[in-house]
Amino acid sequence: MIDVIAGALLIGGAAMAAIAAIGIVRFPDVLSRMHAATKPQTVGLLMILAGLGLRLQDLSAITVLFLIAVFQLLTAPVSAHMVGRAAFRTGFAKRDQLTVCELETDDDAA
């Protein structure tokens, strides 16, 4: 039973990665591609790590898995923020696709 749950989590994580890759190829600009990219980075990897933890069932291994999850959850938003800011500041983001642009009048803050 535990193996079934672990297998479902592993397949779910891999499916998240595949869906995100389709988004990476088909979405039109940097910001929407970043939206697709967050799925394997957070949810997908967390599901795979949870499935791995259910398979291993070892306290030291689960500690390392927890560490990986914490690193990923801490670093993914920071890198996404920096990439998005760089995209906006260098003009690579298409501004006509933005519904609300709070940085429009204040480019120095971007």
Partner 1 sequence: MIVVGTICSVLLAITGLLCIVRIVRGPTMLDRTVAADVFVAASAGAIGVEAAVGRHGTTLSILVVLSLVGFLGSVSIARFAAPDTDRSSHDEPTDPEEDA
Angle, helices 2-26/45-56, rounded to nearest 10 degrees: 160
Measured in whole angstroms, how far is the alpha carbon of residue 46 from the centre of its chain?
Answer: 10
103 contacts partner 1 (rule: CB under 8 A): no
Rounded-to-integer distance, Cα 62 and Cα 87, Å? 37
67 contacts partner 1 (rule: CB under 8 A): yes
Rounded-to-integer distance, Cα 98 and Cα 32, Å? 10
Contacts with partner 1, residue ranges (CB under 8 A): 3, 6-7, 10-11, 13-15, 17-18, 20-22, 24-25, 28-30, 33-34, 36-37, 40-41, 44-45, 48-49, 51-52, 55-56, 58, 60-61, 64-65, 67-68, 71-72, 75-76, 78-79, 82-83, 85-87, 89-96, 107
